[in-house]
Amino acid sequence: MSDTLSTLCASRLVPVVVLDDAADAQPLAAALVAGNLPVAEVTFRTAAAADAIRVMADRGDMLVGAGTVLTSQQVDQAVDAGASYIVSPGLSRAVVERCQEHGVLVLPGAVTATEIQAALELGLTTVKFFPAGTSGGAAAIAALTEPFAGVRFVPTGGVGPKNLHEYLAIPAVAAVGGSWMVSKDLVRAGDFAQITRIAAEGVALARQGALA
């Protein structure tokens, strides 16, 4: 579990993926790997999620997580498909406990002091900060790090090339996530070369952001 978190932190960027068709999983995975961003959070917002996770995880050259996991059944499906970590938009005790039973890393959403305390009570120290932009952004995370030293955040929602440096400059921010790296339109158009370019650009920006 700590290895998964270290890999996630090393990439500093998590592409949030919504795939309508699992047939796009293979070319998308190849595009992200080619962009030097071998990470994906495949969301359970579509029926293709579990199959897409399986295809990507079977490659063995990327870190594949499941996003928008709302139920313990979805945790089971995601883990069965090969997901290495689970992300939830909010904090669900049932989801967290099922992940702990499976021994997989879980990043539940938490944006208030109360939600962070609830995550701590469940034995977690890293949370998704979602939706970051409308929950106070980087300033809110910076304020929360005062009482919650040791808690790490993965802000997602409203994070993009223009503002990711604001988040990555905060030492408690482990990585940032976002959907801008895998636009649905580019996937639909089959323009995976453009996804590779955007991913590579994101990796370069994240490096600069981390140094800022």
Active site residues: 41, 128
Rounded least distance, CB 87 to ligand 3PG, Å? 7
List the one residue from 178, 182, 187, 192 that touches ligand 3PG (CB under 6 A).
178
Show contacts of 119-127: CB within 8 Å, 24+ apart. 119/91, 119/151, 120/148, 120/151, 122/91, 122/93, 122/96, 122/97, 124/96, 125/150, 125/151, 125/152, 126/5, 126/151, 126/152, 126/153, 126/154, 126/174, 127/91, 127/151, 127/152, 127/153, 127/154
Question: Does residue 74 touch ligand 3PG according to CB under 6 A?
Answer: no
CB-wise, 70 or 169, nearer to ligand 3PG? 70
Query: Residues 8-27 vs ligand 3PG: string with x where CB under 6 A?
Result: --------x-----------
The neighbour count for residue 36, using CB atoms within 10 Å, is 13
Return the DSSP state at 33. H
Positions in 106-165 near ligand 3PG (CB under 6 A):
130, 156-159
Nearer to ligand 3PG, 33 or 182 (CB): 182
Shortest Cβ 194–ligand 3PG spacing (Å) = 17
Amino acid at 143: A
| Rounded CA separation 114/106 (Å) | 18
Q: Pick the piece of the chain touching ligand 3PG (CB under 6 A) from 31-39, 56-64, 73-81, 175-183.
A: 175-183
Nearer to ligand 3PG, 68 or 72 (CB): 68
Q: Please identify, using beta-carbon distances, which residue of 17 and 104 lies nearer to ligand 3PG.
A: 17
Q: Out of 15, 108, 177, 202, point to the residue binding ligand 3PG (CB under 6 A).
A: 177
Shortest spacing between CB 99 and ligand 3PG, in angstroms? 17
Cβ closest to ligand 3PG, residue 16 vs residue 58: 16
For residue 178, give the nearest of 199, 192, 197, 196 by alpha carbon: 199
Distance, in Å, from the CA atom of 143 to the CA atom of 134, rounded to the nearest integer, reads: 15
CB of 32 to ligand 3PG, least distance (A): 15
**What residues form DSSP beta bridges with 105?**
85
Residue 134 in contact with residue 158, Cβ under 8 Å? yes
Query: For binding to ligand 3PG (CB under 6 A), which residues are involved?
Result: 16, 67-68, 130, 156-159, 177-180
